[in-house]
Structure formats: C-alpha cells, structure tokens
Amino acid sequence: MSQIRVVLVDDHRVVSRGVRSYLESFPDIAIVGVAANGEELLKKFDEWLPEVVVMDLLMPGGMDGVEATKRVRALSPRMQVVALTASVDEARLIGALRAGAIGYVRKDSEPEALLAAVRAAARGHSVIDPALTGDALHDFARG
Amino acid sequence: MVYRKLMTSTAAFMLVLGTLFVLLGPRILPYLGGVSWGELAQPPLTVRSAIPFTRLFGVTLLTVGLIAWMARKLDRPEDQRSIGLAFFMGGLSLSILALIQQIAVWATTTGWSLVFMIAAFPLSFGYVFFVELGGADFRRLTLSQDSEKLRQQWIRQLSEAAAQQERNRLARDLHDSIKQQIFSINVSAAAAQERWASDGGGARQALEDVRNSAREAMIEMEAMLQQLRPAPLENVGLVEALRKQAEALQYRTGAQVTTEFGDLPDSDTLSPGAQEAIFRIAQEALNNIARHARAKNVHLRLYQQHNGDNPALWLKIEDDGAGFDTTESGAGMGLANINARAAEIGGRPHIESAPGKGTNLVMSIPIISPDVTNIRRKYYANQAYTFIAIMIIGILGRHLPRTGDKTNGIYLFIAAIMLLLPTLIHVAKEKGLLEKLRSTNNVALKISLGLTRDSYQALFFVFICFISCSVRQAGFLSVILSGVVWWSHMRRIHRVMKELKEKLSAIDFKQSAEQMWRQSIITLTMATPLVVTLSWLTHAAQPLLFIPLSALYLGYVAWWRYGGISIIRQGA
C-alpha cells in the first residue's frame, strides 16, 4: 500500500513536532514536509507534492490558514486540506470549509481524531469535529 | 477664566490703541512729544514723514487685537498655552524694542509711558502663561490643574478599556500558547504509545517531547500568571519578570530571544509606577512580536545611559521579523497602549519599522534632575537682569550731562559691558554644564538646554539692537559689530543643533527644532513692523539689520527643521 504524503503547516514548533512524531508512527503515513506558514507551503509545494495538508488556521502575520487553503486548493484540487486549530470560532470553521478544507479537527480533540481525519481526507472523505457540526454546518449548507 | 478676561481686555486695548494710531497718526506718538494740535496744521517734516509708519504700527496693533479677540474663546489648555506663549514672546520683543528706542531717542520726554504701557503685556501674559497655565516649556513636568484633571480622566477611561482588552488578550493567549502545548503533549504521548512495542527509540524520543512540552507549558503558564499579578514595583522584580516574558516568547515562537540588563537607577529617582509601566510596555511589545512578527531573533535591553550626572533609563526591543508600515492608521491598539503607558511616566517611545525590515522600539525614561529647577531659576534671573539693565541704562542716559561725543562713548562702553557681562559670566560658569546638556538624552535636561539657549539668544538680541540703535554715528562699525555677534551666535546655534541631532532620537529632535522655529516666527512677525518704525524714527538704518539677520536665522532653523523630518522618513 502506498503511503499518504502529508505536509504539516503550523507556526507552533511544539505542535508540528508532536504531530509529526505521532503520524509517523503509522506505516501508511509519510510526513514529506513541515512549514511554519502559508507562504512557505506555497514555495515548497511542487517539491513536496502532498496528498493531504494538515493546516493550522491561525498563524501570525501575512497569510492565515484559510487563505493558504484557498491558494493550495487552487494549485492542486486533488490535494485535500485538514484544518487543525485551537480556535472554537465557528465562522472560522465555515471559512475553512468554504476555502476548500475537507476535514476539521480541533486541538482539544484526541490524536486519533486527527489520524482518522487525515486517512479519510486521503480517500476524499470528510471528517468534521463533532463538537462543531451543529448550527455551523447548517449555516454552511445554506451558504 | 483668567485667560479669557486677559484676551478680551487685550483685544479691547489693542483695538482702541490701534484705531487711535491709524486715525490720529503721529499726534499721539509720545516720541514726538511736544507737538501740539495746533502745530499739526503745519506739521514739521519729521512728523509728516512719520505718518505712514505710525499708521503701519496702528494696523499691526489692530491685527494683534483681532487675533486676541478671535483666540479668546479657546478652551483647551494646550491652545491657551500656545497663545499665551505667543503673546508673551511678542510682548517681550515689543517692550525690549520700545525700551531700546526710548534709550536711542534721548531727547523725548513722554516716551517712557509707551514703554511701560507695552511692558505691561509680557508682564500680564507672563503671569497667565507661567502661573495660571503652567508654562509651555515645562508642560511635561508641571501640568496645570485643568489639564491634570483631563489627563487623569483620560487615563481612567483608558485603563477601563485596557482591562477589557486584557481579558480578551488572555483568552487569546491561552489559545495561542497553553492549548498548543497540551495538544502537543497529547499527540506526543499517543505517538509514544503507538511506538512502544515496535520502535523503542522513537517512543523514548516521543516521551522526551512530552516532557519538553510540559516544561514549556509551565513557563508559558508562569509568564501568563505574571501578567495577571500586579506588576513588579522594584528593579529586581522588573528584571526577573522581563526575563520570564522573554523566555516565554522564545518557547512560543521559536525565536532566539536575548536579554541584556544594565545597572538600573534607584526606584525613587524614577517616576512613580515606572517599573510597572516599563513592564507593561515591554509585555505589549513582546506580545506584538509573538502575534505578528515571525521574528527569528529578538533582543531586549534595559539599561541606564550615563551622561555626566544625569542618566536616563532606556528600553530597547528589536526584532528581525515582518515589521509593519508605521504610517498606516491601523497600526493597532498595541501601539496606542504603549504610547499611553509611556506618557504616564514621561517616557518617549519611538518605533521604527518597515515591512520586511523588523521592528525597533526605543524608549527613554527621564530621571528628573534637580538641575532643572536651578537652570529655570537662572533663566528667569537672566531675563530679569536684561530688563533691569536696560531700564538703568535708559534712566542714566536721560540724566547724564550731554557734553559731547566723548561722554556718549564712555556711556556706550558702560552700557555694552552691562549687557554683555551676564552672558560672559554665564558662559564661563556654565561651560561644563552646557557640555553635559548637549550630550543628554534626558527630556527634563533637554528642556533646560532650551531655556539656557533662549536666555543667551535674548541677551544677544538685545545687545545687537542696542548697538545698532545707539551707535548710529558709528555706522559702518556697528554693522560689522552686529555681524560678528550674529555670526558667533549662529555658530553656537549650529553647534547646539548638530549635537541635538546626533544625541536625540529623531522625534525629540524634530520637536526641539519645531520649538525653535515657532519662537523665531513669533519674534520675527511681531518685531518686524516695530523695527521698521524704529529705523525711521531714529533716522538710522542699523536696526533694519534685524530683518535680514532674523530671516537668515529663521531660514537656518527651518532648514534644520525640514532636515529633521526627512531623517524621520528615512528611518521609518
């Protein structure tokens, strides 16, 4: 079975380090790159050619996660984005989904939720954090 | 209310006097005393030729009256102070000129009444300006009661807004930091579990990550708790607190954060609350760096700079991050907070930044020095001496027997010595002090420097006018003398400006250049019409030297002033 090529985008080093170490423990996942911000991801995108990008939504200065999601989705529509954020802001969730994210995981979820979301995203399936699927998704559906 | 009454009475007085001068011309000019109404049917040549100039003088008085009338309703203390200062300076120039003119035209008998009339202006405006309004030069040190009340109110509103903002910020910080660490602990622990059986080395590494993240979370938590606790009140606490904030920033952003602390001054030599304000300002700046800068290196310095006996405390925070456009209006609440905090302790923050060029925060916190009081006293004494000296010279001049040019020569020599003596004594006594003042970054001392400079300026000005008017027979010699004195004066100003430009921050320099520029304009506009009249009445061209020389001086100061502005633009 081929591995899922994953790129992590997060300005918090500690998070990238932990997530990398966790996801790499599974043989079906390969972390091909780690970026600290959206600009870095776009620069190295052709080199990394990820299938799934795990994207922090709140990043300081310049491009935030929602904008970066929009840009990479435009570059490669087959590649999927899983938003990973500490924020509980529903507007941000809707923003991320509109920008083309397929999964949404909060940082207070269990690590397994992230793993499941990455695997689902690689198959083109959506996993949204259950804590946020109520009104927010209705809003999203209504557009 | 004293201000308003004074402005109204000034307006009334000026308008009446101006109308009289315009309508009646030289008939009311006391210098030509003795010209009766009857004689004016066939006025002598001197009176006829004085007509346009007395009318010009009348128009000037009318203009001043109108300005006073329009400015009487100003209610902001800062505006009142500016107008008060303008009238004080203008009145000072007018009365000095009137005095000199009276001395120059010995023979007249009624001129002293005009001198005293005009001298009433600087006296009354000086009283309102210095006593009631607090004095523009010292506004940072002694605020008037009204503005102090406004300031307190402003600070209270600001602190209420700040409290709400603080809560929002803490919530955001909890998201930004601790939550990330805990998530990281969680995933690293999960990684250790996954790798336990198959990859012992990987599991150990993951557990190491768990411990690291827990340690970092602890430090972040400590830094955050510190923000909630009352700020440090002593130097030791301040240094420790700043160190912790720097460390937390390092963990949060991965940037290399270095700190450097010099010997700090005793707490009681700083304004009350200085430590707290410094801590909050640094905290705000570090938070901005964490949130926006993406910096790789951050350097924080807190140190005392010794300039002779008068040190100032400096806070510098530099980063090599994204930077921002300082001219953009949305530069943020963070900067407004920094400015407000700094204002509480008389600090002067200066922020240099440009997109992609990092950000540089520099702030000097003044240490109020007893020298200021001393110099202020000397300044007043100096001004008072000038007045008294001219009065005595004038009275002596009227009572000395006029036996010919010889007496005049001796008399002029005595008068010149009397005028120059205090300046020479000052220069000799304060040479060391001036050197100190020139190299200072301390706001309070900078003000003293301004005062000392002004007092010399006033003395030189009076001296030149005196020479120009009195030695009218000497003609060419007086032109040369005035030129030499002015040249040395300009050189001195040039030296001071150069020193200021080198030693002060761009903003401080701009402000002091602007202050000089304003004073020059006031002096020039108020004195010029009178000098023209004076020249005509004394039949001497020398007083007219004042105009090109002042224009030269004004242009020179303006050149520095605009030079100062372009420096700021380049630096930004």
Residue of B nearest to A59 (CA): B291
Contact B69, B95 (CB under 8 A): no
What integer pLDDT is reported at residue B390 of this predicted model? 59
User: Which residues in B lie closer than 8 A to residue A17 (C-beta atoms)?
Assistant: 184, 188, 209
Instruction: Judge if B344 and B312 occupy the same domain.
Output: yes
> Considering CB atoms only, which of A22, A61, A62 is closest to B188?
A22
CATH number of the CATH domain containing B361: 3.30.565.10
Is B14 contained in some domain? no
Is B167 contained in some domain? no
Q: Tokens representing B66?
A: 């109108």
Residue B457 touches chain A, beta carbons under 8 Å: no
Instruction: Judge if B373 and B357 occupy the same domain.
Output: no
What integer pLDDT is reported at residue B319 of this predicted model? 92
Instruction: Judge if B347 and B377 occupy the same domain.
Output: no
Is B466 contained in some domain? yes
Per-position DSSP letters for B417-447, written without gaps between them: HHHHHHHHHHHHHHHHHHHHHHT---HHHHH
What integer pLDDT is reported at residue B318 of this predicted model? 92
Dihedral pair phi/psi, residue B258, rounded to 5°:
-115, 150
Is B229 contained in some domain? no
The one-digit pLDDT tens for each residue of chain B (572 residues) are 677 888 888 888 888 888 887 777 656 654 444 445 455 444 444 445 555 656 767 777 788 888 888 888 777 766 777 777 777 777 777 777 666 655 555 445 555 666 667 777 777 777 777 666 655 444 343 334 455 566 666 667 667 776 777 777 777 777 777 888 889 999 999 999 998 988 889 899 999 989 988 988 888 888 877 777 666 556 667 888 888 888 888 887 788 999 998 877 766 567 667 788 888 889 888 888 887 788 889 999 998 875 444 567 889 999 998 888 777 655 555 777 788 778 777 777 888 888 888 888 888 887 755 455 555 566 666 666 665 665 565 555 555 545 455 555 555 566 666 666 666 666 566 555 555 555 554 554 555 555 555 555 555 555 555 555 554 444 455 556 656 666 666 666 666 666 666 655 565 666 666 666 666 666 666 666 666 665 565 555 555 656 666 666 666 666 665 554 443 333 33
Dihedral pair phi/psi, residue A34, rounded to 5°:
-130, 125
User: Which residues in A lie closer than 8 A to residue B205 (C-beta atoms)?
Assistant: 21
Q: Which amino acid is at B17?
A: L
User: Which residues in B lie closer than 8 A to residue A60 (C-beta atoms)?
Assistant: 253, 290-294
> Residue B438 CB: number of other CB atoms within 10 A?
18
Instruction: Judge if B464 and B356 occupy the same domain.
Output: no
Instruction: Judge if B342 and B258 occupy the same domain.
Output: yes
For residue A46, the Cα-to-chain-centroid distance in whole angstroms is 18
Write down which residue in B367, B396, B425 finishes a domain.
B367
User: Which residues in B lie closer than 8 A to residue A12 (C-beta atoms)?
Assistant: 180, 184, 252
What integer pLDDT is reported at residue A132 of this predicted model? 65
Give the CATH fold of the A4-142 domain.
Answer: Rossmann fold (3.40.50)
User: Which residues in A lie closer than 8 A to residue B252 (C-beta atoms)?
Assistant: 12
Write down which residue in B367, B397, B426 finishes a domain.
B367
Structural domain total, chain B: 2
The residue of B180, B204, B292 whose CB has the most chain A CBs within 10 angstroms, and thus the best one to mutate to test that interface, is B180
Instruction: Judge if B438 and B319 occupy the same domain.
Output: no
Instruction: Judge if B421 and B460 occupy the same domain.
Output: yes
Q: Rounded to a whole number, what is the largest CA-CA distance in chain A?
A: 39
User: Which residues in B lie closer than 8 A to residue A19 (C-beta atoms)?
Assistant: 184, 187
What integer pLDDT is reported at residue B472 of this predicted model? 46
What integer pLDDT is reported at residue B480 of this predicted model? 62
B 515-534 residues with CB below 8 A of A? none
Instruction: Judge if B262 and B361 occupy the same domain.
Output: yes
Is B513 contained in some domain? yes
CA B270, B273, B279 angle in degrees (round to 5)? 100
In Å, how far is A23's CA from the nearest CA of chain B?
A: 7
Contact B128, B121 (CB under 8 A): no
Instruction: Judge if B353 and B373 occupy the same domain.
Output: no
Q: Does B175 contact A87 at a Cβ distance shorter than 8 Å?
A: yes
What integer pLDDT is reported at residue B305 of this predicted model? 74
Domains of chain A by residue range: 4-142
Q: Tokens representing B84?
A: 């008060």
Helices B77-104/B443-470 angle, 10° precision: 30
Contact B44, B32 (CB under 8 A): no
Contacting residues for A44 by C-beta, under 8 A, at least 6 apart: A33, A35
In Å, how far is A111's CA from the nearest CA of chain B?
A: 5
Dihedral pair phi/psi, residue B233, rounded to 5°:
-105, -15
Task: Determine the Cα–Cα distance for residues B560 and B567; give it in Å rounded to an integer.
Answer: 10
pTM recorded for the entire structure: 0.44
CA B334, B231, B366 angle in degrees (round to 5)? 70
Residue B332's domain spans which residues? 254-367
CA B503, B444, B140 angle in degrees (round to 5)? 120
Contacting residues for B117 by C-beta, under 8 A, at least 6 apart: none
Instruction: Judge if B476 and B407 occupy the same domain.
Output: yes
Task: Determine the Cα–Cα distance for residues B194 and A120; give it in Å rounded to an integer.
Answer: 20
Residue ranges of chain A with per-residue pLDDT less than 70: 1, 61-62, 88, 131-143
Residue of B nearest to A24 (CA): B191
Task: Determine the Cα–Cα distance for residues B245 and B214; give it in Å rounded to an integer.
Answer: 17
Is B112 contained in some domain? yes
What integer pLDDT is reported at residue B418 of this predicted model? 64
> Considering CB atoms only, which of A11, A25, A60 is closest to B191?
A25
Q: Which amino acid is at B401?
A: P
Is B467 contained in some domain? yes
What integer pLDDT is reported at residue B141 of this predicted model? 37
B 258-317 residues with CB below 8 A of A? 290-294
Instruction: Judge if B427 and B507 occupy the same domain.
Output: yes
Write down which residue in B325, B351, B367 finishes a domain.
B367
Is B234 contained in some domain? no
Three-state secondary structure string covering B392-408: HHHHHHHHCCCCCHHHH
